[in-house]
Amino acid sequence: MPKRADIVVVGAGAAGLFAGLWAARRSRELARPRRILILDGARTLGAKILVAGGGRCNVTHCAVSERDFNGSTPGAIRSVLRRFTVEDTTRFFAQRTVQLKREPTGKLFPTTDRARDVLDAILDATREAGAVIRNPCRVEQVARADTGFLVHAVENHKPAEFLAKRLILATGGKALPKSGSDGQGYDFARALDHSVSRTFPALVPLILEKDHPLRALSGLSFEAALEVRAASSKRLAPTRGSVLCTHFGLSGPAILDISRHLTAARHQDPGAHLVLSSLPDLTRDQLDHTLRNLGPTPIARVLKEDLLPERLASTLLDLAHIPHHTTGATLTKDQRRALLNTLLELTVPVTSDRGYTHAEVTAGGVPLKELTLRTMESRCTPALHLCGEICDADGRIGGFNFQWAWASGYIAGTAAAEAIAEHAIASPRGPNTANPARSTKNPP
């Protein structure tokens, strides 16, 4: 016999835990405690919360808006984000005695710098609210049933079945597959009549051609402006920030941020490429003027002493084929042009990215247009909700992806609880009965 539950959440990551937690809290507010199960295949819960932000967990960002995301339309993303804001996140954690501090970049971390405190706060709040977490409990299949959904799982190596009135899919994407997020949730979404837009790794380091000189600078980081350009040289996506050279290619916040734009552009246009300026504060005219007026000064000295890290300056001079003893006076017009191009518009030959194993998030997923955003309920399958990274919304680096998980999880959980309460009250009197359970209360 399947175990019965009012709500089954598949996935106990950031979004699933929040969904289960808020479903339980809302049920209690409605004075109708419900049986809420959160199932997760992983033996260790919250792996991504624990590794996030280098073990410090970048919980959110001081200013989050739809402009920080890609995927579904900005309007759809905005309508989810505004239902559970950064202030709501900060208040939630403060109530669980996890104070957040803001760093100069705007990222918010726990004052203790311990991701474990963030995870423990959520797990304690979830259990206190009355939701039950079962793991390792790997869901293998979900199907519609007469009274909801039948969920087939393997729990501690034994088959287990659950019958749920409402189902919340919070299985994440494919990033960091060893955490348990391997993309199986997309199959569940498809089986329940959803489409899944093309998925690919985002916030992922990039691999450069073998033997590219930048790979020899492993460990060096510098400020740069980056741009994805079409084969036609049309400018597609700009960003600016820190770039880190590694033994395989490039990483660092700016590279992670631009990686999804390069991949997306290449899906449309295989000639799309990445262009890097290592002097992001200088225009071409300004640098041209500087080079023209160097006189007897060696160019290498100016680059190394005033403008760039020494090793980077040497490498860029080599890439521009400029002998290091060249002075402003001996620099030819062609050399000047080559140097300007190398310093300000260097095409970096990206062969691929490091894949889901090294990606922080998955681009693509279930389009938000297939959901009613007020409830995160499916428009394809009634009583099904989706939240978190399984949806087609991916944020830039800085805490935005967790804020998406908190907000969409909150909406899915509270809406599922309200719908169950509504059904319990409405059904004896007929579907049009005015419903006292529907709440307009603000979170949290």
- Give the binding site for ligand FAD (CB under 6 A): 10-16, 39-42, 48, 51-53, 57-58, 138-139, 170-172, 175-176, 179-181, 184-185, 360-361, 388-389, 399-402, 405
DSSP 8-state assignment for residue 331: -
Contacts of range 286-292, beta carbons closer than 8 Å, 24 or more positions apart? 287/340, 287/343, 287/344, 288/336, 288/340, 291/328, 291/331, 291/336, 291/339, 291/340, 292/328, 292/336
Nearer to ligand FAD, 19 or 236 (CB): 19
Residue nearest to ligand FAD (CB): 13
- Rounded Cα distance between 84 and 441, Å, is 12
Tokens of residue 400, six digits: 């935005």
Token pair 């659950």 is found at: 162
Nearer to ligand FAD, 16 or 443 (CB): 16
Nearer to ligand FAD, 180 or 413 (CB): 180
Q: Which amino acid is at 326?
A: T
Q: Judge contact between 81 and 403, C-beta under 8 A.
A: yes
- Rounded Cα distance between 79 and 81, Å, is 6
Nearer to ligand FAD, 12 or 100 (CB): 12
- Rounded Cα distance between 80 and 374, Å, is 7
Question: Bridge partners of 249?
Answer: 207
Minimum CB–partner distance for residue 158 and ligand FAD (Å): 15
Nearer to ligand FAD, 249 or 287 (CB): 249
Question: Bridge partners of 9?
Answer: 38, 168
Minimum CB–partner distance for residue 286 and ligand FAD (Å): 36
Token pair 């909150």 is found at: 410
Minimum CB–partner distance for residue 2 and ligand FAD (Å): 16
DSSP assignment string, 52-82: HHHHT---EESS--GGGEEES-HHHHHHHHT
Minimum CB–partner distance for residue 179 and ligand FAD (Å): 6
Nearer to ligand FAD, 169 or 437 (CB): 169
Nearer to ligand FAD, 15 or 291 (CB): 15
- Rounded Cα distance between 355 and 263, Å, is 11
- Rounded Cα distance between 71 and 77, Å, is 9
- Rounded Cα distance between 14 and 53, Å, is 14
Minimum CB–partner distance for residue 20 and ligand FAD (Å): 11
Minimum CB–partner distance for residue 152 and ligand FAD (Å): 10
Minimum CB–partner distance for residue 375 and ligand FAD (Å): 17
DSSP assignment string, 308-326: S-HHHHHHHHHHTT--TT-
Minimum CB–partner distance for residue 173 and ligand FAD (Å): 6
Nearer to ligand FAD, 141 or 332 (CB): 141
Nearer to ligand FAD, 9 or 346 (CB): 9
Nearer to ligand FAD, 14 or 23 (CB): 14
Minimum CB–partner distance for residue 437 and ligand FAD (Å): 27
Minimum CB–partner distance for residue 145 and ligand FAD (Å): 18
Of 421, 429, 406, 440, which Cα lies nearest the Cα of 89? 406
